[in-house]
Amino acid sequence: MFMFKKKLEMPSAAEALPGRDIGWTIFQAHQHHGYATEAARAAIDWFFLSSIGDRVVGIHNTDNPRSGAVMERIGMQWLLQTRHPDYGYPVEVWETTAPTRREDR
């Protein structure tokens, strides 16, 4: 069974505002097939084409560098490292904007 969950919601880290946070979860047995990269790229493109906003952020636990690698592959730029506001573990914040996405095409 393949499971993919993506979301576009308000970010939990104040440093990531303004913007929408994109996230994903894939069962371990289905990782390393490019599903996260493909779906995240499509979700961000849809977000900008729908004129919902002009900035998307991605926040990942520093213990999960694979999520950071996905963010880099889809053209997001590293912004900063901070701590999760509720749990205190270190997270990285990445971003992409509508003008940046247009330049990448």
Q: Which residue has the higher pLDDT, 61 or 23?
A: 61
The answer to whether the Cα torsion of 2, 97, 103, 70 is positive or negative is: negative
Q: pLDDT category, 7, cuts 50, 70, 90?
A: low
Quick check: 36 pLDDT over 50? yes
Q: pLDDT category, 2, cuts 50, 70, 90?
A: very low
Ramachandran assignment for 72, one of left (phi > 0), alpha (psi -120 to 50 degrees), beta (any other): alpha
Could you give all domains of the chain from N- to C-terminal order, each with its CATH number? Answer: 10-104 (3.40.630.30)
pTM (2 d.p.): 0.77
Residues 49-84: tens digit of each pLDDT: 988 888 888 889 999 999 999 999 999 999 999 988
Q: pLDDT category, 3, cuts 50, 70, 90?
A: very low
